[in-house]
Amino acid sequence: DLLHASSSTNVLKVLGNSGDEVIATGFNDSATKKTVDGIAYSIYTHTDANTDSNAEFWIQKGVTLIGAQRGFVINGESAGDNSGYSVSNAGDVNGDGLDDLIVGAGRANLNGKSKAGKSYIVFGKQDADTIELSAIAAGKGGFVINGESAKDYSGHSVSSAGDVNGDGLDDLIVGTREAKSYIVFGKQDTNTIELSIIAVGTSTGGFVISGESMRNHARFSVSSAGDVNGDGLDDLIIGADSAGKSYVVFGKQDSAAIDLSVIVAGKNTIGFVIKGESRHDYSGYSVSSAGDVNGDGLDDLIIGANSANPSGKIKAGKSYVVFGKQGTDPIELSAIVAGTGGFVINGESANDYSGYSVSSAGDVNGDGLDDLIVGAYLAAPSGKSQAGKSYVVFGKKDNTNAIEL
């Protein structure tokens, strides 16, 4: 598959030249000669990663290469790690002018901690030599981020976080299956990051975000949110689909832990909560920055609710565009449907599950407004069962009219 929902920031830009990226995963790829030893491939569009004046692509095995460099493959470290389950562009983490990559291996074991998980930062490079994640773990060409505790499955979802602390280096967000997400600040060395140290709150290397409860799955989808409140620091969005909530955490320069229950309680300065229409809509299953859809200078958000039932169409799905704002008042997606603070995108047909994946698409049509792409992986175009559809929705300044796919 070209996209895992938890890495929804990485969707192919259909037109334009702003450097948007696609990630393909080789989970269970037989080329590894191991059943679940993952291989990760990424696809760049309009990104000159090796400064040779040509665009580069990384592609999944079996996809035809079109007019670009061959790229390279990244091999998992150990059998059963599931490396490549989640992948993302990492931005320029080490400040060398080349974009880097992050590869999640949620089932990796370390130091006796079963399935604590690992995430690997692979620095950008100009050759096409194969990368072994065992070398990355040893500090050659990148660094590894080790999970905190057994069965955390850290690396279950991974993403670039943008520049959260404003130091000029891009940061990272690593999600787990235990209602925690970790922000790891960009750095130039290749020393291993231990999330157990980040979690203590005394490290200068990042901070931890704890969910409202262990059952809220505040780890399932994580993404940079762009600069939602216009303070010059990139913000974060975390989806907790079982709770039907998404949380925006504002960028900050310190390493103090964030508790999402404080954001939900209101009267804070650290972010705001976005509440779904109905719990069983699973809003927050996919989340992403939307870019600046309405042209007001603030980055907007897109939130998928793939099990919503617009106009009685069972599980047609909905996606909500939430305009950037400077306050911390909670947002109700029912208000977005009514045209206050954003707009809704309604799925086309029952059982399409539109909003299963969502992302900014960049400025596809060149009108100065950022556009959107919404995936409906079970849609049946021209009667082709479960062939799937993806919809590009152009940016617009009004927020009163729903978009009908």
Do 123 and 238 have their domain in common? Answer: no
- Lowest-pLDDT range, 15-29, 137-151, 251-265? 15-29
pLDDT at 69: 57
Output the average pLDDT for the chain. Answer: 85
Do 255 and 385 have their domain in common? Answer: yes
Q: What kind and span of H or E run contains 48?
A: none
Segment 18-30 shows an average pLDDT of 40
Domain membership of residue 98 (yes or no) is yes
**Cα gap 324→341, rounded to integer Å:** 8
**Cα gap 262→259, rounded to integer Å:** 6
Q: What is the CATH number of the domain that holds 395?
A: 2.130.10.130
Report, in this order, helix, strand and coil percent for the chain, each rounded to 5: 10, 35, 60
Q: How many domains is the chain partitioned into structurally? A: 2
Q: Which residue in 154, 323, 155, 319 sits closest to 225, CA to CA? A: 323
Domain membership of residue 321 (yes or no) is yes
- Report how far apart the first and last C-alpha atoms of the chain are (Å, whole number): 23
**pLDDT-derived band of residue 297, with 50, 70 and 90 as boundaries?**
very high
Q: What kind and span of H or E run contains 260?
A: helix 260-265
pLDDT at 2: 34
Do 115 and 222 have their domain in common? Answer: no
Domain membership of residue 86 (yes or no) is yes
pTM, to two decimals: 0.81
Domain membership of residue 116 (yes or no) is yes
- Lowest-pLDDT range, 16-25, 75-84, 233-242? 16-25
Domain membership of residue 340 (yes or no) is yes
Do 293 and 402 have their domain in common? Answer: yes
The last residue of a domain, from among 156, 181, 201? 156
CB atoms within 10 A of CB 70: 11
Q: Which residue in 173, 143, 146, 145 sits closest to 157, CA to CA? A: 173
pLDDT at 178: 78
Domain membership of residue 185 (yes or no) is no
Q: Which residue in 328, 259, 299 sits closest to 162, CA to CA? A: 299
pLDDT in tens, 314-335: 999 999 999 999 999 999 999 9
Domain membership of residue 181 (yes or no) is no
Q: Which DSSP string corresponds to 165-193?
A: SSSSS-EEEEE-SSSEEEEE---SS-PPE
| Contacts of 136 by beta carbon, 8 Å cutoff, 6+ apart | 120, 121, 122, 142, 143, 144
Do 148 and 225 have their domain in common? Answer: no
**What is the Cα 93 distance to its own chain's centre?**
16
Q: Which domain holds residue 326?
A: 211-405
Do 215 and 320 have their domain in common? Answer: yes
